[in-house]
Structure 1
Amino acid sequence: MKLKFPTAQTILLLITALTVLLTWLIPSGKYETLAYNSETKTFDLKGKDKSISLQSSQKTLDSLAIKIPLEKFTSGEIWKPINIPNTFYYVKNTPQGIVAFIKAPIKGIIQAADIIFFVLILGGAIGIMNYSGAFDAGITSLAQLLKGKEYLLIIIITTLIAIGGTTFGLAEETIAFYPILIPVFLKARYDAMVALASVYVGSSIGTMISTVNPFSVIIASNVAGINWTTGLTSRLIFLIICTTICIVYIMWYGKRVQKNPEKSLLFAQKEEIEQHYFANKTENSFLTLPQKIALIVFALCFVVMIYGVSQLEWWFEEMTAVFFVGAIAIGIILKINEKSFVSEFIKGSAELLGVAIIIGVARGVSVIMEEGMIIDTVLYHASNITSGMNKGIFANMMMLIYSGLSFFIPSSSGMAVLTMPIFAPLADTVGIGREVIVDAYQFGQGLFAFINPTGLILATLAIVNVTYDKWLKFIMPLVGILLVLVIVYLTLMVV
């Protein structure tokens, strides 16, 4: 019997089990933390057997070896507790067991409730659109319009998503795009991998080389104690180079699939995928007026979502509300009766239920690490590895350390707050700018994001039932190319 690659859920449970084992092997430890209390206008310091309030002054920060301007705290730019350098201490080991392993996915699902509800409501809205027939007609019309110029899909989608990634961290929100774009790419004679790559690679390369992303480069620069514009020009040039390479890579693969469908990594699933997206659907390209209005309303949901996240500090609660209201508005426009609306909405949500569960189970891995108290221990020992290195090796070693840490800390803002107070001062000891540490943080975390099983990739692959091994086969050559470019970039930055 031929062995099959395990599902995303099984992979994550295996990773959770491995993490449980790590809590038995890695000693528990903590850094003392400092947070600004906006109500009392003081600093709250929590450490070993103490929890005290300190005067909110630059003198206090300097005494703690925190090279961050006071206004970064008082203005709210740094709102999470940060680790205090040179304060690591071991605590009583808290190894996790069978009960913790069983509870972890459940706790993860509860913690990820905001994004899970977003995915389910989004699925419901898509279900309503599919029921209306507007998607089918719109996709057919677009396919006819792009006939002979299908490559424009790859260029436009990847570029736009990369812009979203580099400016405001477009990542989790991209889950909304896959069910819409995959049929479009299939009609253009590509496979689902091209659609997945155009969105996921675009998002990953954009967030990997963030230019003005407040959840990445800005918060990291703030915590590192430098202006976020330091190194901006070189990052922008590097972003353009890497995005271009990503587009060329996806176009190369897509062209092969168009010429010979058997070259597709998903050829064995071709009929299954097409059946899923096109079963019982017509080829009619005629859009009625209500359908056109419904498509406009649905598109506006994305516009409002992106504007809200980038300009109004929205998060999943507001994004979910946008698609919920949008679905109701579309139902009214298309005059769908109440019973059919509810039925199709639930059916659409059910289509993405598996994706939602994967997101929650992935969060369970973080739960084990937090309760086992091993994250700070890993960070402490990682900070000791780089002592005595020359500049070029140091910069690239920091990038590799960040890649490893991103398995444990997939959140970009969480990574910045936890690591920058510890790693940024290391740049001073080797005589390089702290912006190099910010770059190493971005590139290391961003490169691993292409394949990180505790990140978004498994949930993304589940949307079209693509296994992790097929994704690795597709993406690893591109990751190798980007890794070489990153090593060259970081080395040139410090010579």
Structure 2
Amino acid sequence: MTNKKKRSFPTAFTVLFIILILAAGLTYIVPSGKFSRLTYDSQANEFIITKPNDSVETLSATQETLNKLKIQLSLDKFVDGVIQKPIAVPNTYTRIEQHPQGILEILKAPIEGVFDTVDIMVFVLILGGIIGIINKIGAFDAGIAALSKRTKGKEFLLVTLVFLLTTLGGTTFGLAEETIAFYPILMPIFLVSGFDAITCIAAIYMGSSIGTMFSTVNPFSVVIASNAAGINFTNGLMYRIIVLSLGSLITLVYMYYYAKKVRLNPKASLVYEDENAIHERFLKSYDIESKVEFTIRRKIVLLIFALAFPIMIWGVARDGWWFEEMSTLFLADAILIMIFSGLSEKDCVNTFISGAADLVGVVLTIGLARSINIVMDNGFISDTLLNYSAEIVTQMNGGVFAVVQMVVFSVLGFFIPSSSGLAVLSMPIMAPLADTVGVSREVVINAYNWGQGLMSFITPTGLILVTLEMAETTFDKWLKYILPLMGIMAVFSVVMLVLNALI
């Protein structure tokens, strides 16, 4: 009698490729369409209208022009540079020739996705190289051993601290892609502290996700959305702070009970059967019984590495850094670490290359995830979905309007994963609808934030599959963990949104 081979859940690559095919299928079903787009030319002081047929019209940059176009925004928003991206012009949606994406387009999309995300890939590869060198000299082993002694009996403080810091980053400046750098450092610490990989992922990923979902002053979501809706982002700020605090507390309690269950019974972990593979990846050179000396050299190397993170956060939050600047920072960090590592030049280079090679699977996942959005963009179906959504919520009761808006933005968030892109595209269309049902426009801003943020917990086109690939965890394990919390947060968000509409 032969033993049946146990079926395993598909890898991130397979999941993304299946979604890529489904997205291409939608381009045959959903009609292609476009809104006219308005852009402000500051040099000529003119508005440029790009129509669905790609013809261009130039108009005077005046408040009267905006009023005629039914764009309920102040001219100052454009002149002062507050709104820089093209915005959709209300009531201009037009069906265009269908652009179905066939087999050739499906095969080309991952290649284009790699080209589009090469900046993120370089960042991840440099990070992998640094991790390789730090592991080679035993600095992580010594640091983990020292930290585990200090946190003994207070391990959940580590989870709380990581969660609150990433939440703070998410709500203030949209900390998201930058968290990729945290997993190789924090995962070993969490594992040695008795937590499983899921808890580490939750502390980092859900911290940034809850923060960005319940954004307070995030310039890439709530600020740009408020500007595009024609209101000040401080409208409803105190309410958003209250909702963020409650949402964070709910998430922390959920994480605590799961972590407690796993610490009492390791077999209760959703990734128990993958424990050996996870430990092999993150603790392959770590021996909990060994006494690795935390030497001055190892302390200096870890300090150099650690200092890069506050510098990175400062650069992103205050100086508009993106992956080019972050990669430059970590390359300089890598060079300094090589100098202080005590390794020979040959060992440094070979170890760096080997460490980068360990994350090749992760960087390819990033490119494949981007390919899904490329297929949908090339099929011109996003504007059609936005037009359908606007028709659905028109003339609804205030409370129902708010809830349906959140559902709509959850769906749109899958097709338009960029928070700023979705804001400038949708707000000129959606925000004025709030006036027709007698609710404040800040309700639409919150529906946009909370709807898109809720979907980000599981959206394969976002960061989650990249994160899971880095953490040696499959999507089905994450879904088992996150879906109950997602349901809780959905109910919580709906309640708070209805209260917001009624206040």
Bucket of the pairwise TM-score, normalised by the shorter protein: over 0.9
Counterpart CA distance in 2 for 1:81 and 1:30 is 13
Aligned to 1:146: 151
Are the equivalent residues in 1 in contact too, given 2:277–2:472 (CA < 8 A)? Answer: no
Q: Which moved more, 1:98-107 or 1:42-51?
A: 42-51
> Are residue 328 (structure 1) and residue 335 (structure 2) matched?
yes
Pick one of 368, 391, 406 that aligns with 2:375.
368
Aligned to 2:472: 465
Aligned to 1:190: 195
Q: How does 1:265-280 map to 2 (within 5 A)?
A: 265-280=270-285
Counterpart CA distance in 2 for 1:55 and 1:196 is 51
Amino acid across the alignment from 1:165: G
Q: Which moved more, 1:280-289 or 1:455-464?
A: 280-289
Amino acid across the alignment from 1:169: G
Q: How does 1:122-201 map to 2 (within 5 A)?
A: 122-201=127-206
3-state SS, counterpart of residue 58 of structure 2: strand
CA deviation profile, 1:342-379 (whole Å, cap 9, x unmatched): 11111111111111111111110111111111111111
The offset of 1:286, in angstroms, is 2.4
Amino acid across the alignment from 1:107: E
Pick one of 15, 18, 24 that aligns with 2:22.
18
Aligned to 1:58: 63
> Are residue 491 (structure 1) and residue 498 (structure 2) matched?
yes
CA deviation profile, 1:385-406 (whole Å, cap 9, x unmatched): 1123211111000000000111
Counterpart CA distance in 1 for 2:135 and 2:16 is 31
Are the equivalent residues in 1 in contact too, given 2:36–2:49 (CA < 8 A)? Answer: yes
Are the equivalent residues in 1 in contact too, given 2:142–2:292 (CA < 8 A)? Answer: yes
Aligned to 1:294: 301
Counterpart CA distance in 2 for 1:416 and 1:336 is 49
The offset of 1:285, in angstroms, is 4.5
Pick one of 227, 233, 243 that aligns with 1:222.
227
Aligned to 2:487: 480
Aligned to 2:72: 67
Pick one of 13, 27, 41 that aligns with 2:45.
41
The offset of 1:284, in angstroms, is 3.0
Counterpart CA distance in 2 for 1:40 and 1:290 is 58
> Are residue 402 (structure 1) and residue 406 (structure 2) matched?
no
The offset of 1:41, in angstroms, is 2.4
Counterpart CA distance in 2 for 1:39 and 1:250 is 52
Counterpart CA distance in 2 for 1:441 and 1:308 is 27
- Structure 2: which 5+ runs fail to align? none
3-state SS, counterpart of residue 251 of structure 2: helix
Are the equivalent residues in 2 in contact too, given 1:191–1:257 (CA < 8 A)? Answer: yes
Are the equivalent residues in 2 in contact too, given 1:19–1:369 (CA < 8 A)? Answer: yes
Aligned to 2:291: 284
Are the equivalent residues in 2 in contact too, given 1:130–1:136 (CA < 8 A)? Answer: yes
The offset of 1:337, in angstroms, is 1.7
Pick one of 104, 112, 116 that aligns with 2:117.
112
> Are residue 359 (structure 1) and residue 366 (structure 2) matched?
yes
The offset of 1:90, in angstroms, is 0.8
Q: Which moved more, 1:48-57 or 1:84-93?
A: 48-57
* TM-score normalised by length of structure 2: 0.97
Are the equivalent residues in 2 in contact too, given 1:43–1:53 (CA < 8 A)? Answer: yes
Counterpart CA distance in 1 for 2:403 and 2:118 is 37
3-state SS, counterpart of residue 11 of structure 1: helix
3-state SS, counterpart of residue 177 of structure 1: helix
Aligned to 1:416: 423
Are the equivalent residues in 2 in contact too, given 1:211–1:236 (CA < 8 A)? Answer: yes
> Are residue 445 (structure 1) and residue 452 (structure 2) matched?
yes
The offset of 1:315, in angstroms, is 0.5
Counterpart CA distance in 1 for 2:52 and 2:364 is 37
3-state SS, counterpart of residue 404 of structure 2: helix
CA deviation profile, 1:162-195 (whole Å, cap 9, x unmatched): 0000000000000000111011011111111110
Amino acid across the alignment from 1:307: W
Q: Give the count of matched residue pairs.
A: 495
Are the equivalent residues in 2 in contact too, given 1:136–1:284 (CA < 8 A)? Answer: no
3-state SS, counterpart of residue 186 of structure 1: helix
Cα distance change on mapping 1:426 and 1:190 into 2, 3 Å: same
Aligned to 2:100: 95
The offset of 1:113, in angstroms, is 1.1
3-state SS, counterpart of residue 225 of structure 2: helix
3-state SS, counterpart of residue 448 of structure 2: helix
3-state SS, counterpart of residue 101 of structure 2: coil
Are the equivalent residues in 1 in contact too, given 2:409–2:451 (CA < 8 A)? Answer: yes
Counterpart CA distance in 1 for 2:145 and 2:73 is 55
> Are residue 251 (structure 1) and residue 224 (structure 2) matched?
no
Counterpart CA distance in 1 for 2:285 and 2:155 is 25
Counterpart CA distance in 1 for 2:434 and 2:145 is 55
Q: Which moved more, 1:52-61 or 1:436-445?
A: 52-61
> Are residue 80 (structure 1) and residue 49 (structure 2) matched?
no
Pick one of 381, 393, 413 that aligns with 2:388.
381
Counterpart CA distance in 1 for 2:355 and 2:63 is 54
Q: CA RMSD in A?
A: 1.1
Counterpart CA distance in 2 for 1:445 and 1:248 is 23
3-state SS, counterpart of residue 210 of structure 2: helix
Counterpart CA distance in 2 for 1:6 and 1:279 is 25
- Structure 1: which 5+ runs fail to align? none
CA deviation profile, 1:263-308 (whole Å, cap 9, x unmatched): 1111111122112222233433422112111111101111110000
Amino acid across the alignment from 1:347: S
Counterpart CA distance in 1 for 2:84 and 2:476 is 39
Pick one of 391, 404, 416 that aligns with 2:398.
391
Amino acid across the alignment from 1:390: N
Counterpart CA distance in 2 for 1:71 and 1:86 is 23
Amino acid across the alignment from 1:24: Y
The offset of 1:2, in angstroms, is 2.9
* TM-score normalised by length of structure 1: 0.98
Identical pairs, percent: 50
Amino acid across the alignment from 1:60: T
Amino acid across the alignment from 2:440: G
